[in-house]
Amino acid sequence: MDESGVRFPVGPQMQSKKFQRRIEDFGCENCGAKVKGNGYTDHCPVCLWGKHVDVNPGDRAAGCGGMMRPVNVFKKDGRYMIEYVCVNCRYKFRVKAAADDNFEAIIKISRKIQK
């Protein structure tokens, strides 16, 4: 299925000071996938790697820019959570897995942990 035409409606009324939502597309620096940002995208849905840019989700205030390696996957309230460690500054970070994340990649990480 081609979802390239899917756009999320955005308007100035969606802006909030508490939660900064930014719509941005980015190229994954780990696997090279082109990721279509929806404003909540904080990691690559293909390889699950992220980038250390946020202090709080979406604020882009970290100023580190190191790659965030997915090191752990666990289930919380029926949802997968991914735990990251920044390869640059070793900052630890956990996020909810997104609905369009590559499930195989999630399983791969959880298998690695069990060994």
Distance CA 61, CA 78 (A): 30
Smallest Cα–Cα separation from 38: which of 28, 27, 25, 19? Answer: 25
Point out which residues bind Zn ion (CB under 5 A).
Answer: 28, 30-31, 33, 44, 46-47, 52, 64, 66, 86, 88-89, 91
Q: Indicate the residue among 102 and 110 with the shorter CB distance to Zn ion.
A: 102
CB 53 → Zn ion: shortest distance, Å?
9
Minimum Å distance from CB 93 to Zn ion? 9
| Closer residue to Zn ion, CB minimum distance, 21 or 26 | 26
Complex with Zn ion: residue 64 or 71, whichever CB lies closer: 64
Minimal distance in Å, beta carbon 37 to Zn ion? 13
Contact status, residue 13 vs residue 23, Cβ threshold 8 Å = no
Distances (CA, A) of 109 to 16, 28, 75, 105: 34, 18, 13, 6
